[in-house]
Amino acid sequence: MKNVKFEDLGLIEYKNAWDYQENLFASYLKIKAENRDLPENDQKEIEGNVIFCEHPNVYTLGKSGEQNNLLINDQFLTKIQATYFKTNRGGDITYHGPGQIVGYPIIDLERFNLQVKQYIANLEESIILTLKEYGIESERLDGATGVWLDTRTNKARKICAIGVKASRFITMHGFAFNVNTNLEYFNHINPCGFIDKGVTSMEKELGEKQDFEKVKDVLKGKMEQVFGMNLRK
């Protein structure tokens, strides 16, 4: 088990969390660059971070996303008390808001012997195993990242979006897992660029609000299990 620093930042503005990630990301890239010129025994290990948080209402667009997947103008954004950011992660547009667990792992994939594709699969697996604890069967969808329900029907719906960035095997950005999320905000976008698929949450699937802190604890344990990491404060 590899030690990784765990932080729960609670409710935090999207830009503040992004800046915090960028600072960690840059510091780890610097260590990687310095390590290249050092003997193996003198190289610094990158412990890494896993951050959990929630954001006030915000829409974020990935670098390959389409601006027209945001279906509202600035005036309407203000009316619904939401903000909008173009980001440097992969993926298209998504929504973050209260009641959603947003996870930002800033880790060195080489330390875990992972390629980016397997890293994303591990994030998905952590969510799938968490949902299983609550009796919700979920899965992957061919051609799309994230975690989905009922993919073989016309009622396919996403419960967790994933969009990451990686450089020199250092990661940032991550996942957005709908627990008690207000799903009405998804009506103003084509979530992740899809126009023919829905979104859902644990609250919607189970018919009642969930203990948010408990879900975080379960997810944290599943990430430790899947990645072989020890998340410590």
Q: Which residues are catalytic?
A: 192
Give the Cα separation of 129 and 143 in Å (integer): 21
Give the Cα separation of 213 and 205 in Å (integer): 18
Judge contact between 129 and 121, C-beta under 8 A. Answer: no
- Indicate the SS3 state at residue 87: coil
What one-character DSSP code corresponds to residue 90?
S
Angle made by CA atoms 146, 54, 81, in degrees to the nearest 5: 105
Give me the residues paired with residue 158 across strands: 148, 199
Give the Cα separation of 125 and 166 in Å (integer): 19
Q: Give the E-state strand segments of the chain in sequence order.
A: 2-11, 49-54, 58-61, 83-86, 93-96, 100-106, 139-141, 144-149, 157-167, 170-178, 198-199, 229-232
- Indicate the SS3 state at residue 39: coil
